[in-house]
């Protein structure tokens, strides 16, 4: 288990992504994945109010509703660390105080809980003063509705501004950053956000840790993959991308693990990462990503060089 820096949150080395719940995984499939995850000792679940508004017929909040009903039925809320987010749902956009307060109450209702362990600003809102946003979070923390706050999809400069404002004004501070980071998508995070995290000593909890499924090894030259995410991996289907997958496969055989587990292990080996996020539509997929592998320094370096 891992303790997230600046908190008392003790979490599993894999954060289970809830973005597929209510989208590519229906209620029964989602509950099966959640059951399998907790049977492996998993306790860290990531969702958002906007998941999965993009599916035809959905309105947003479907993932939270599934997770909330499942936790209520299992009676295990106190054993879980649940993260959700505000700012991207079409009817609850931005980080104004009024929106944060209303969105939080709606998320709590869907999750069937009276507190959120980790509440993210899902994306930056430059039209709302930082003071207003952080003061709203301070109110929620004081009320016991939110334990910690974090940021997602912020620039390094705006993240640094927010962290400084919190420190200067004794307001709750973002304790983690959720950002797009994996072996195939590195430069933006490493050049812009990583230096800020190093200076402040907070952590990254990366999303798209498996590059939308490319780093599971199912995408190979000349093969057609039937997946809702297939279109999102086209940019990785290159000589470089396939070389990375080949190396992942070689290392996975040495560890008797899945290719996906090695890709996630590389992320954990990065000094600025605590626990990566990955999602599973089926129990079979969950079994691949739940494996926790410890790579040698040579294996980490090989993957780093190939993906540079």
Query: pLDDT tier at 228 (50, 70, 90 boundaries)?
Result: low
pLDDT at 116 over 80: yes
pLDDT at 217 over 80: yes
Percent of the chain residues past pLDDT 90, beyond the cut: 91
H-state helical runs in the chain: 27-39, 62-74, 97-111, 130-142, 156-169, 187-188, 194-200, 239-255, 259-268, 283-289, 297-307
Nearest CA among 283, 259, 243 for reference residue 210: 259
pTM score of the predicted model: 0.94
Q: How many CB atoms lie within 10 A of CB 203?
A: 21
Query: pLDDT tier at 237 (50, 70, 90 boundaries)?
Result: confident
Binning the chain into helix, strand and coil, the percentages to the nearest 5 are 45, 15, 35
Domains of the chain, first to last: 2-178 (3.20.20.100)
pLDDT at 235 over 90: no
Q: Kindly report, residue by residue over 22-50, the tens digit of the pLDDT.
A: 999 999 999 999 999 999 999 999 999 99
Which residues share a beta bridge with 44? 81
Task: Say how far apart CA 125 and CA 87 lie, in whole Å.
Answer: 8
């Amino acid at each position: 288990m891992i303790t997230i820096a600046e908190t008392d949150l003790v979490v599993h080395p894999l954060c289970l992504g809830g973005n597929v719940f209510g989208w590519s995984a229906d209620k029964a499939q989602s509950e099966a994945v959640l059951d399998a995850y907790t049977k492996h000792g998993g306790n860290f679940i990531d969702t958002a109010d906007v998941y999965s508004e993009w599916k035809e017929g959905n309105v947003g909040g479907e993932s939270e509703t599934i997770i909330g009903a499942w936790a209520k039925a299992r009676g295990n809320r106190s054993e879980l660390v649940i993260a959700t987010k505000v700012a991207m749902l079409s009817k609850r956009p931005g980080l104004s105080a009024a929106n944060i307060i209303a969105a939080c109450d709606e998320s709590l209702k869907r999750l069937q809980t009276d507190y959120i362990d980790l509440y993210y600003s899902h994306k930056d809102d430059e039209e709302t003063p930082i003071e207003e946003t952080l003061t709203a979070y301070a109110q929620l923390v004081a009320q016991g509705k939110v334990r910690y706050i974090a940021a997602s999809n912020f620039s390094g400069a705006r993240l640094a501004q927010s962290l400084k404002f919190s420190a200067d004004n004794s307001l709750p501070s973002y304790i983690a950053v959720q950002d797009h980071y994996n072996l195939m998508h590195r430069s933006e995070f490493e050049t812009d956000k990583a230096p800020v995290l190093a200076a402040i000593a907070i952590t990254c909890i990366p999303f798209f840790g498996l590059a939308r499924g490319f780093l599971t090894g199912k995408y190979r030259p000349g093969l057609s993959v039937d997946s809702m995410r297939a279109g999102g991996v086209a940019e990785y289907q290159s000589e470089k991308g396939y070389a990375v997958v080949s190396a992942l496969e070689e290392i996975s055989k040495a560890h008797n693990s899945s290719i996906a587990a090695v890709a996630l292990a590389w992320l954990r080996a990065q000094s600025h990462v605590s626990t990566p996020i990955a999602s599973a539509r089926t129990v079979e997929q969950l079994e691949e990503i739940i494996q926790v592998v410890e790579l040698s320094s040579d294996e980490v370096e090989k993957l780093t060089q190939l993906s540079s």
